[in-house]
Amino acid sequence: MSVSTPVHMHHDSPDTVGRRDRLGVILLIVADIAFVGSLIFTYLYLRFLNTEGAWLPEGMTPAPSTATWLIVICLLVGLFTITWGVRGMKGGLKSQLVLGAGIALLASIVAIVLQFQQIASYDFPLNDKGYFAGTYSSSIVTLAGANAFHFILTIVITLGIFNRARMGKYTDPASWQPRIAVYWWLWVVISAVLVGLMTTYVVSSPYIQ
């Protein structure tokens, strides 16, 4: 004789799920702000300290900033187009979100290609132990790696939005996922601009040994 036990499944409402996911993304952005802030602080601290003239040793030239601003331009294009797409979704134009997210996806792919090319172009000298000869070079490579990590997450997020929009998943003009993607894009652009300004205009140490 077998006894069957009824199982009651509890499902949260879409609004509850949306609020929880929005909070999760906001917390992720806050944590990433703290991470990027620590990198910026480290860069500025080492630059000012310039222990034994090790910030920019003699003979080392700063990395050119051209690629940095090309990356920022790509990110601005991506932010503009995905924001434009979300506004179209709110107005009932589903195809506008598909187009906006698609262009943003291409922009993020171009940005990460440029970022890896920039990292590959660094020609900083090494010391006898195999480490970078200056703290400037170490800081620049770390910041570039953080940017690349941002771009990888951005590609994954934007690809998801593009695929779901293409499949017609966002039938509700108030869908929360595309709006959350815009929050992330905005932070990535702000982060890239801050790092670009710092590594372009705040290079030489004010403290000369």
Residue-wise pLDDT tens digits, 56-90: 888 888 999 999 999 999 999 999 999 999 999 99
User: What per-residue confidence (pLDDT) applies to 11?
Assistant: 59
User: What per-residue confidence (pLDDT) applies to 132?
Assistant: 75
Domains of the chain: 32-41+64-122+135-201 (1.20.120.80)
Distance from C-alpha of 122 to C-alpha of 113, rounded to nearest angstrom: 15
CB 144 within 8 A of CB 118: yes
Q: What is the mean pLDDT of the chain?
A: 88
The yes-or-no verdict on residue 22 having pLDDT over 90 is no
CB 189 within 8 A of CB 150: no
Buried b / exposed e along 142-167 (16+ C-beta atoms within 10 A): ebbebbeebbeebbebbbbbbebbee
List, as one string, the DSSP characters of 119-164: HHH----B-TTSSBSSHHHHHHHHHHHHHHHHHHHHHHHHHHHHHH
Q: What is the DSSP letter of 169?
A: -
Question: Tens of pLDDT along 159-204?
Answer: 999 999 999 888 887 788 898 899 999 999 999 999 999 999 999 8
Distance from C-alpha of 90 to C-alpha of 175, rounded to nearest angstrom: 8
Distance of CA 123 to the CA centre of its chain: 24
Q: What is the DSSP letter of 15?
A: H
User: What per-residue confidence (pLDDT) applies to 59?
Assistant: 80
- Give the whole-number percent of the chain exceeding pLDDT 70: 89
Confidence of residue 139 (pLDDT cuts 50, 70, 90): very high
Distance from C-alpha of 14 to C-alpha of 50, rounded to nearest angstrom: 54
CB 161 within 8 A of CB 181: yes
pTM listed for this prediction: 0.87
The yes-or-no verdict on residue 31 having pLDDT over 90 is yes
User: What per-residue confidence (pLDDT) applies to 84?
Assistant: 97
Question: Tens of pLDDT along 150-160?
Answer: 999 999 999 99
Give the mean pLDDT of 43-48: 94
| Number of Cβ within a 10 Å radius of residue 68 | 23
